[in-house]
């Protein structure tokens, strides 16, 4: 995890790497993103029963999680520390009001708490220190003051209990190889009065399986199935957790 995480995304090169390399066509992340889209849209249909929620996307970056829900939410607000990432979201034409927030200090206030809400926090918790994770979840708690207020969906893109862990020794000490255990996620949720209500994995394969022509087709088949099987989330390399206030 990185203490300077907010600084990493402050320049256009970091944005370009994110959009052109991490989310290049056929990459691991692009396939995970497509599977998450189907799950998230189904979740909104089932959980909000026709009452379109307001989406609050914390650490929205280029607006990826906002785009996953285009057309399904009543209103959307994205929050991020990086003007460069927010500019990229604007260029991509996201339907959202984008807010620049400070990287530390008082917990940012959600733009509105009117009506049901869906708070999304994707690819954020893994690489930041525990106090920054807590600040993000404290933001979600402000947007979701009670059990009927809606849902929080968090992504862990480096689950410790997955095949990805086999690479941990090789990457030991590298700033860009963090791992996050389910228990840590649940502890952070619990500390802010959230209960885990569902979880889903969007890949069992590590991203390296998508870099090689011979392993990519098999990885895609396995991971497409994984995203449809609820019980596999404990072993997923990439996991979404759905939580509700107690
Ligand atoms: C890996 S990107 C994820 C972007 C987007 N959520 C997604 O999944 O594509 C992490 C984002 O967190 C933002 N960020 C870093 N520190 C932050 C903080 N303390 N508060 C809010 N956002 C932060 C960065 O600027 C960056 O846009």
pLDDT computed for residue 175 by the predictor = 66
From ligand 1's centre to the CA of 180, what distance in Å? 16
Provide residues with CB under 6 Å of ligand 1: 5-6, 9, 59-62, 64-65, 80-82, 85, 101, 103, 122-124, 132
pLDDT tens-digit profile of 11-69?
A: 888 889 889 999 999 999 999 999 999 999 999 999 998 899 999 999 999 999 999 99
Tokens of 98: 């984008």
Q: Tokens 């290049």 correspond to what residue?
A: 24
Whole-angstrom Cα Rg for the chain: 17
Residue whose C-alpha is closest to residue 97's, from 128, 41, 138, 54: 54
CA-to-CA separations, 197 to 54, 124, 137, 242, 245, in angstroms, rounded:
20, 20, 16, 6, 10
Confidence of residue 170 (pLDDT cuts 50, 70, 90): confident
Residue whose C-alpha is closest to residue 41's, from 25, 55, 58: 55
Q: Taking the CB of residue 201, how many other CB atoms lie within 10 A of it?
A: 25
């Amino acid at each position: 995890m990185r203490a300077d995480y907010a600084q990493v995304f402050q320049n256009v090169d970091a944005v370009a790497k994110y959009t052109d390399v991490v989310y290049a066509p056929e990459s691991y992340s692009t396939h995970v993103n497509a599977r998450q889209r189907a799950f998230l849209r189904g979740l909104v249909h089932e959980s909000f029963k026709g009452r379109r929620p307001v989406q609050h996307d914390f650490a929205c970056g280029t607006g990826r999680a906002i785009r996953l829900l285009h057309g399904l939410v009543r209103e959307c607000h994205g929050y991020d520390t990086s003007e460069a990432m927010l500019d990229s979201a604007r260029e991509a034409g996201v339907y959202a009001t984008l807010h620049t927030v400070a990287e530390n200090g008082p917990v940012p206030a959600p733009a509105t708490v009117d009506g049901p809400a869906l708070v999304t926090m994707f690819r954020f918790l893994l690489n930041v220190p525990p106090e920054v994770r807590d600040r993000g979840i404290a933001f979600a708690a402000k947007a979701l003051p009670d059990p009927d207020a809606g849902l929080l969906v968090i992504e862990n893109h480096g689950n410790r209990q997955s095949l990805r862990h086999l690479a941990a020794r090789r990457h030991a000490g590298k700033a860009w190889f963090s791992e996050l255990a389910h228990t840590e996620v649940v502890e952070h949720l619990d500390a802010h009065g959230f209960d885990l209500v569902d979880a889903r994995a969007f890949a069992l394969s590590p991203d390296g399986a998508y870099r090689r022509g011979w392993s990519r087709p098999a990885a895609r088949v396995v991971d497409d199935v994984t995203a449809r099987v609820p019980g596999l989330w404990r072993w997923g390399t990439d996991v979404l957790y759905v939580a509700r206030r107690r």
